[in-house]
C-alpha cells in the first residue's frame, strides 16, 4: 500500500487531480449545511451578478442561487457517476469473467450480446432509454449503466483469457477447486488493477452523460444537476453569462480531476508501465 | 598472449541505485585471441550477459554503464569511442547472436531484407550483388534452398533455421569477434548440436574470436578453448577448458561442476509388481473445430498425443523425454485431467478417470498431483504461501486446523522456514518457489506426482537441490512419479524408466540404463548423440 502511494504520488498531476476531487466531494457532502434551502427555491432577485444580493455566484432568471445549485448538483453528479459505474463494473465483470473463463459457446453468446450493445452509439442509446422509461434518477443510472458495461466486459474477458492458461490457475484445477472459487478468489484479484483504472475513468464519462441528459431535459426534474443549470441558463447566455459558466466549469474540473486520478492509478497499478519508469 | 583481439581490463559496470548490488560486473579482465573460443559460464544474475552487451555498447544507458576500466579492441578503447565509430564497429567488426531467435529477427521483414540492411549500412555494393552475397551466406550456414529462404519471413522458418539465419547475418561482414549470448538455450538438443558445429566451422574458416556465453557445462566442454567462470559479477576462475572442467580450483567452480548431472544413469532399483497408473491408447488433437459463428475452413488439426500407452508401477519414476513439440506436456495434462483426451483410457486404481466428470473427479484429484515448470507463473501472486498450500486439503474436506498443521509440516519437509506461511510468493527466489509448488502438490498426500519440467527454469546448482528434494520425498512417501523433461542428463539421474516421445508418439520405452546403453530407435540414438559434453565426464 505504501509502495502504491509512492508510485501514485510520483505523478504530480494525479495528486492534483486527487486534491480537486476531494474538494468536490467535500463541497457535495456539506451542500445541505451551507445551503440548507432547496436549490430550486427562487428569490426576488433574478439575474443578480456574482457577489450581488448575497449570491456568491449570482442568481438565474427566476432568482435561484447558482452556487447552491452547483453544490447540490455536485452531489447528484458524483452519486450518479459512482452508482452507475459500480453497476456497470459488476455486470461487465460477470459477463467478461464467464465469457473468458468458459470460452467456446458461452463466450460466443455473451460476446455477441455485448457487441449488440456496443454497436449502438452510446449517448443516443442513453437518450432513448431515458425517454422510454420516464426521466428520473433511477432511469438515468440505468441508462448510463447499460451503455457503459460492455467496455468492462471486454477488458475482463481479455484478462481472464490470459489468466486462464497460467500455471497457477491450472494448479487450482488439479486441487479440485470449483470454477466459482477459481474465478472469484484466484483470477479476479489478479485483474483488479485494470478494472479499478477503467472504473475510475468511467465515473468521469458517467458524469458527462448525466450532464448531457439533464441538458437535454432528460434529467430528474426534481433534482438539481449541473446539466440542468446549463440548459436553463443557455438562453440567457448573452445577458447573464454566470448561469451557464460556473456549472460548466464545475463539470470541466471534476471530469478532468477524475481523469487525472485515473491516469495516475493506471501508472501506479499497471506493471508493464511500471517497468518503463 | 602476443596476438590479442580484445583485451578487457579492470572493467566495472555499475547498476542504478537501489539495485541488489552496486556493480553488475566488477574488475573484469578477459582477453580473446583470433580463432579462439572463450566461454563465459555463470548462473543467472552473474553479470555474463551485461558483459557481452558492454562490448557492443548496448548497455541500457544511462542507468547501467561502464564506470571504470578499458575495453581494448585492436588498439581502440570501446568505452571511449564515439557513438558513430561504435556503429561502424557493430556488425562489421564485432557482431552478436542472441538467445531468442524468435525475437531477435524482425517479423515483418524478409530474411534477405535483413541481411541486405547490413551490407547497405556498412559497404557499398549494388543491389544485385548484395542479394547474391545474401544467398551465398545462407548457403554457408547450410540452410536448405537459400534462394527461397532469402524471400521468406522469420515465422516461416523453424527455431534452428532462424538461429542459422542470425548467424549468417552476424557473419555477413566477417567480423573479428562474434559474441554469442546463450545462442542455443532456446533450441532442442539435436538442433543445438548442429548450431554449435556450425559456429565452430565458421570460426575455423574466418579465424573469428568467439565469446560464447552459456550456463551449460556440456556446451562448454564441446566448444571452448578457454573458460571464464563468473559469480556475482566477479570472474572467479579462468583457464583452459581442460584445467577448469577437470581440475577446478575455486570452490564455486567445483560446486557448479559437481552440480552438472552425470550422463551415466543411476543404478536401477527393483521394480514393483503393483501398477498404480495405466495410460492406454490416449489420443489428443488440437484445432479442427470451428466455433459457433465461425464460418469458413476449419483450422489445421495437430495430433499432439497419438496412441500413447504407458504404465507406472508403485514407487517408480517414469521419465517422458522428448524435444519441444513432442507432446510430452500435453500428455502430462491429459493424465492429470487438465485436458480431456479424445480417446483412450487413463486407469487409476482400477477406474478409468477419463469417464469421470468434474464433480466425480474431485476425490480422485488427491491421488494425482502436478508440479509445474515455471515457478514464477505457477503461484498466484496475490495469495499468501500458507493459503496456497492449505487450500488443497481444505477443498478435499480437511478442517482449518488440520490443513494448517499439514502446511507447516510440509514447509519443513520442503526445507522452508515456517515464517513463509504469511508471505507472498514474490518474496521468494525461483528455487524456493519451486519448493512451495512441490509442497502444494504434496499437501493432498498424492500417490502419483506428475512433474512437468520441474527444474528446467532453474540454475544448475538449484536444480540439483530440487532434484534431491524430489528424490527424498519420493522415498519418504513412496511416490510414483511421471517426470517430463527434455534434458537427458536430468533424466539419467532421476528416472527408473524412460519413454521417448516424438511427434506425439512414444518411440521407445525401457529401463533408463538400457536406453542409454543400447538405444533401439534411431531417434533415441540421435537424441543421445546430441547431448553436449559427452566426452567430458567429471
d(C-alpha A254, C-alpha A121), whole Å: 24
| B291–A104 C-beta distance less than 8 A | yes
Of B308-312, B355-359, B411-415, the least confident = B355-359
Asked if the model's pLDDT at residue B239 lies above 50, the reply is yes
Asked if the model's pLDDT at residue B451 lies above 70, the reply is yes
SS3 B73: strand
Across the range B317-342, mean pLDDT stands at 88
The pLDDT tens digits for A3-48 are 788 888 888 899 999 999 999 999 999 988 888 888 888 888 888 8
Q: Are B438 and B380 in contact (CB under 8 A)?
A: no
Across the range B214-221, mean pLDDT stands at 88
Q: Which residues of A touch B373 (CB under 8 A)?
A: 167
pTM: 0.82
d(C-alpha B121, C-alpha B124), whole Å: 8
CA angle A196, A197, A198 (to 5 degrees): 95
Mean pLDDT (chain B) is: 86
Q: Which of B267, B189, B255, B266 is nearest to B533 (CA)?
A: B189
Q: Which of B235, B265, B165 is nearest to B488 (CA)?
A: B265
Across the range B380-394, mean pLDDT stands at 90
Of A62-76, B90-104, B294-308, the least confident = B294-308
Provide the pLDDT for residue B294. Answer: 54
Provide the pLDDT for residue B232. Answer: 87
The pLDDT tens digits for B225-235 are 999 999 888 89
Asked if the model's pLDDT at residue A257 lies above 60, the reply is yes
When scoring A114, A115, A171, A173 by the number of chain B Cβ atoms within 10 A, the one with the most, hence best to mutate, is A171
| B377–A174 C-beta distance less than 8 A | no
| A170–B372 C-beta distance less than 8 A | yes
Please state the separation of Cα B450 from the chain's center in Å: 19
Task: Work out the percent of chain B whose per-residue pLDDT is above 70.
Answer: 96
Q: Please tell me which residue of chain B has the smallest CA distance to A187.
A: B380
Torsion, Cα of A16, A22, A23, A29 (10° steps): 170
Mean pLDDT (chain A) is: 89
Asked if the model's pLDDT at residue B288 lies above 70, the reply is no
Q: Between chain A and chain B, how many beta carbons pairs sit less than 8 Å apart?
A: 65
Task: Work out the percent of chain A whose per-residue pLDDT is above 70.
Answer: 97
A105 touches chain B (CB under 8 A): yes
Across the range B210-235, mean pLDDT stands at 89
Q: Which residues of B touch A177 (CB under 8 A)?
A: 391, 395
CA angle A233, A238, A240 (to 5 degrees): 55
Task: Work out the percent of chain B whose per-residue pLDDT is above 90.
Answer: 24
Asked if the model's pLDDT at residue B184 lies above 90, the reply is no
Provide the pLDDT for residue B1. Answer: 44
The pLDDT tens digits for A205-246 are 999 999 999 999 898 888 888 988 988 888 888 888 998 999
Provide the pLDDT for residue A275. Answer: 42
The pLDDT tens digits for B457-467 are 888 888 889 99
| B292–A166 C-beta distance less than 8 A | no
How many Å lie between the alpha carbon of A114 and the closest alpha carbon of chain B? 15
Provide the pLDDT for residue B439. Answer: 93
Instruction: Output the CA–CA distances (angstroms, integers) from residue B344 to B277, B309, B353, in the order listed.
Output: 13, 9, 11
- DSSP at A108: H
Asked if the model's pLDDT at residue B17 lies above 50, the reply is yes
Residues of B with CB under 8 A from a CB of A: 291-293, 333, 336, 338, 361-363, 365-366, 368-370, 372-374, 377-383, 391-392, 395-396, 437, 440-441, 444
Q: Which of A150, A72, A80 is nearest to A111 (CA)?
A: A150
Of A158-167, B43-52, B282-291, B433-442, the least confident = B282-291
A3 touches chain B (CB under 8 A): no
When scoring B18, B339, B382 by the number of chain A Cβ atoms within 10 A, the one with the most, hence best to mutate, is B382
Amino acid at each position: 500500500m505504501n509502495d502504491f502511494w509512492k508510485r501514485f504520488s510520483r505523478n504530480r498531476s494525479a495528486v492534483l487531480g486527487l486534491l480537486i476531487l476531494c474538494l468536490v466531494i467535500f463541497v457535495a457532502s456539506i451542500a445541505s449545511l451551507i445551503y440548507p434551502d432547496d436549490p430550486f427555491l427562487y428569490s426576488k432577485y433574478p439575474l443578480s451578478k456574482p457577489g450581488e444580493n448575497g449570491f456568491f455566484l449570482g442568481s438565474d432568471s427566476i432568482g435561484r442561487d447558482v452556487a447552491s445549485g452547483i453544490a447540490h448538483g455536485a452531489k447528484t453528479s458524483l452519486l450518479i457517476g459512482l452508482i452507475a459505474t459500480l453497476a456497470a463494473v459488476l455486470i461487465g465483470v460477470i459477463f467478461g469473467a464467464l465469457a473468458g473463463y468458459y470460452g467456446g459457446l458461452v463466450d460466443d453468446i455473451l460476446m455477441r450480446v455485448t457487441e449488440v450493445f456496443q454497436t449502438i452509439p452510446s449517448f443516443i442509446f442513453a437518450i432513448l432509454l431515458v425517454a422510454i422509461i420516464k426521466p428520473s434518477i433511477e432511469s438515468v443510472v440505468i441508462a448510463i449503466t447499460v451503455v457503459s458495461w460492455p467496455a468492462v466486459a471486454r477488458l475482463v474477458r481479455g484478462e481472464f483469457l490470459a489468466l486462464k492458461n497460467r500455471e497457477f490457475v491450472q494448479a487450482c484445477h488439479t486441487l479440485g477447486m470449483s470454477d466459482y472459487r477459481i474465478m472469484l478468489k484466484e483470477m479476479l484479484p489478479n485483474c483488479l488493477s485494470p478494472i479499478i483504472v477503467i472504473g475510475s475513468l468511467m465515473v468521469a464519462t458517467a458524469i458527462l452523460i448525466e450532464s448531457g441528459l439533464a441538458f437535454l431535459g432528460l434529467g430528474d426534474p426534481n433534482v438539481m444537476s449541473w446539466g440542468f443549470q446549463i440548459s436553463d441558463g443557455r438562453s440567457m447566455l448573452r445577458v447573464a453569462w454566470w448561469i451557464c459558466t460556473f456549472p460548466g466549469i464545475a463539470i470541466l474540473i471534476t471530469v478532468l480531476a477524475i481523469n487525472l486520478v485515473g491516469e495516475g492509478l493506471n501508472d501506479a497499478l499497471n506493471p508493464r508501465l511500471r517497468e518503463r519508469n | 598472449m602476443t596476438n590479442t583481439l580484445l583485451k578487457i581490463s579492470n572493467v566495472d559496470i555499475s547498476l542504478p541505485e537501489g539495485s541488489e548490488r552496486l556493480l553488475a560486473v566488477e574488475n573484469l579482465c578477459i582477453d580473446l585471441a583470433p580463432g579462439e573460443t572463450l566461454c563465459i559460464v555463470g548462473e543467472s544474475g552473474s553479470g555474463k550477459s551485461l558483459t557481452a552487451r558492454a562490448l557492443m555498447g548496448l548497455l541500457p544507458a544511462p542507468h547501467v554503464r561502464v564506470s571504470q576500466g578499458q575495453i581494448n579492441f585492436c588498439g581502440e578503447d570501446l568505452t571511449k569511442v564515439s557513438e558513430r565509430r561504435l556503429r561502424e564497429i557493430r556488425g562489421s567488426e564485432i557482431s552478436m547472436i542472441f538467445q531468442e531467435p524468435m525475437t531477435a529477427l524482425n517479423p515483418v521483414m524478409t530474411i534477405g531484407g535483413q541481411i541486405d540492411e547490413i551490407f547497405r549500412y556498412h559497404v557499398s555494393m549494388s543491389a544485385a550483388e548484395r542479394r547474391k552475397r545474401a544467398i551465398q551466406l545462407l548457403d554457408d550456414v547450410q540452410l536448405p534452398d537459400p534462394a527461397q529462404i532469402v524471400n521468406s519471413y522469420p515465422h516461416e522458418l523453424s527455431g534452428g533455421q532462424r538461429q542459422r539465419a542470425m548467424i549468417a547475418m552476424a557473419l555477413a561482414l566477417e567480423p573479428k569477434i562474434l559474441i554469442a549470448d546463450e545462442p542455443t538455450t532456446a533450441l532442442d538438443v539435436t538442433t543445438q548440436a548442429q548450431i554449435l558445429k556450425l559456429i565452430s566451422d565458421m570460426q575455423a574458416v574466418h579465424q573469428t574470436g568467439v565469446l560464447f556465453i552459456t550456463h551449460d557445462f556440456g556446451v562448454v566442454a564441446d566448444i571452448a578453448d578457454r573458460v571464464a567462470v563468473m559469480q556475482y559479477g566477479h570472474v572467479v576462475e579462468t583457464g583452459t577448458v581442460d584445467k577448469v572442467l577437470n581440475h577446478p580450483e575455486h570452490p564455486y567452480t567445483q560446486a557448479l561442476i559437481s552440480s552438472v548431472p552425470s550422463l551415466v544413469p543411476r543404478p536401477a532399483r527393483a521394480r514393483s509388481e503393483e501398477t498404480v497408473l495405466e495410460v492406454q491408447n490416449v489420443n489428443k488433437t488440437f484445432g479442427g473445430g470451428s466455433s459457433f459463428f465461425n464460418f469458413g475452413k476449419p483450422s489445421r488439426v495437430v495430433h499432439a498425443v497419438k496412441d500413447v500407452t504407458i504404465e507406472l508401477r508403485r514407487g517408480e519414476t517414469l521419465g517422458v523425454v522428448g524435444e519441444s513439440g513432442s507432446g510430452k506436456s500435453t500428455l502430462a495434462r491429459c493424465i492429470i485431467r487438465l485436458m480431456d483426451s479424445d480417446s483412450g483410457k487413463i486407469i487409476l486404481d482400477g477406474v478409468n478417470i477419463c469417464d469421470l466428470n468434474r464433480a466425480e473427479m474431485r476425490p480422485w484429484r488427491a491421488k494425482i498431483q502436478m508440479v509445474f515448470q515455471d515457478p514464477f507463473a505457477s503461484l498466484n501472486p496475490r495469495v499468501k504461501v500458507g493459503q496456497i498450500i492449505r487450500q488443497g486439503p481444505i477443498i478435499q474436506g480437511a478442517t482449518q486446523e488440520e490443513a494448517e498443521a499439514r502446511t507447516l509440516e510440509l514447509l519443513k519437509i520442503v526445507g522452508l522456514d515456517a515464517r513463509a506461511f504469511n508471505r507472498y510468493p514474490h518474496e521468494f527466489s525461483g528455487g524456493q518457489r519451486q519448493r512451495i509448488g512441490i509442497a502444494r502438490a504434496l499437501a493432498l498426500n498424492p500417490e502419483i506426482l506428475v512433474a512437468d519440467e520441474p527444474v528446467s527454469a532453474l540454475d544448475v546448482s538449484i536444480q540439483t537441490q530440487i532434484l534431491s528434494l524430489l528424490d527424498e520425498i519420493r522415498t519418504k512417501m513412496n511416490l510414483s512419479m511421471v517426470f517430463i523433461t527434455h534434458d537427458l542428463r536430468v533424466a539419467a539421474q532421476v528416472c527408473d524408466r524412460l519413454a521417448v516421445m516424438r511427434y506425439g508418439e512414444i518411440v521407445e520405452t525401457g529401463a533408463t540404463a538400457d536406453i542409454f546403453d543400447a538405444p533401439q530407435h534411431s531417434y533415441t540414438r540421435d537424441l543421445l548423440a546430441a547431448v553436449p559434453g559427452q566426452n567430458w565426464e567429471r
